[in-house]
């Protein structure tokens, strides 16, 4: 790995992250105190379980579509086979959405940017999966505490996505090679930022991420069994393709 290659790899991943975030950090910062009124919260809480799940699935699918775009611009990712790209996105896209949440989570009032304003956990009450929402908020809190820069977040997102341990990969060795180059990039960035201790903490967060995503899949299975019509006909196709 010549230093030039590593710098080029980092630059392209950071550029891809910036171009595939629906909102710039400044925009989210400017909206931080725009929270839902009691009446608006009441409207969310009076939705039925399947209406609220459908509403979240649409939002999540939109966030996942941007993650797919992010992946496509990562140099090593494009070189992988179609099947391996899908296999990595199937399990990794939700994890990257959760990692990106540290951009749109306000730790001061425990709210997340959702539907144009910042929402507390009470907004998601009608989802009937308080444990998933509490776990997602806790995870976002923990990640925000690491105060990642956009560059560190971009490299960490790529590292989470290009995971050679995913099931049903055809060319695991090739994924390992790309994973290692991204890891060298992240280590390089953290060293340059004089924050070497962060890598170990980020690996600990990755373990929490996996359990959070399996909790999400478990809830999705519960939901699809209880509301088969909504899950099969009204969920966005990409959501079904990736999560069902």
User: Which residues sit at the interface with ligand 4CZ, rule CB under 6 A?
Assistant: 21-23, 56, 59-60, 63, 66, 97-98, 100, 103-104, 112-114, 124, 127, 133, 136
Closest distance of CB 211 from ligand 4CZ, Å: 13
Closest distance of CB 175 from ligand 4CZ, Å: 24
Q: For ligand 4CZ, which is the closer residue by CB, 100 or 205?
A: 100
- Could you write out the DSSP letters of every residue in 17-29? HHHT-SS-HHHHH
Closest distance of CB 55 from ligand 4CZ, Å: 8
Q: For ligand 4CZ, which is the closer residue by CB, 102 or 175?
A: 102
CA dihedral sign, ordered 166, 57, 67, 34: negative
Closest distance of CB 60 from ligand 4CZ, Å: 4
Q: For ligand 4CZ, which is the closer residue by CB, 9 or 99?
A: 99
Q: Which residue carries 């966030």 as its tokens?
A: 63
Q: For ligand 4CZ, which is the closer residue by CB, 29 or 168?
A: 29
């Amino acid at each position: 790995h010549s230093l030039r290659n590593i710098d080029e790899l980092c630059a392209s991943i950071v550029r891809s992250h910036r171009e595939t975030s629906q909102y710039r950090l400044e925009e989210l910062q400017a909206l931080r105190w725009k929270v839902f009124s009691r009446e608006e919260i009441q409207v969310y809480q009076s939705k039925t379980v399947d209406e609220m799940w459908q509403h979240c699935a649409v939002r999540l699918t939109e966030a996942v579509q941007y993650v797919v775009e992010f992946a496509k611009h990562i140099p090593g990712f494009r070189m992988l086979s179609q099947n391996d790209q899908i296999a990595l996105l199937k399990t990794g896209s939700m994890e990257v959405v959760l990692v990106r949440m540290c951009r749109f989570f306000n730790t001061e009032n425990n709210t997340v940017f959702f539907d144009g304003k910042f929402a507390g956990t009470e907004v998601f009450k009608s989802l009937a999966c308080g444990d998933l929402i509490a776990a997602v908020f806790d995870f976002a809190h923990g990640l925000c505490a690491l105060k990642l820069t956009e560059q560190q977040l971009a490299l960490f997102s790529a590292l989470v996505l290009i995971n050679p341990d995913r099931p049903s990969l055809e060319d695991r060795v090739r994924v390992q090679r790309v994973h290692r180059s991204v890891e060298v990039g992240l280590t390089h960035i953290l060293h340059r930022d004089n924050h070497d201790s962060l890598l170990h903490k980020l690996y600990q967060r990755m373990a929490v991420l996996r359990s959070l995503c399996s909790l999400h899949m478990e809830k999705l299975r519960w939901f699809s069994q209880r509301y088969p019509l909504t899950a099969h006909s009204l969920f966005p196709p990409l959501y079904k393709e990736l999560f069902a």
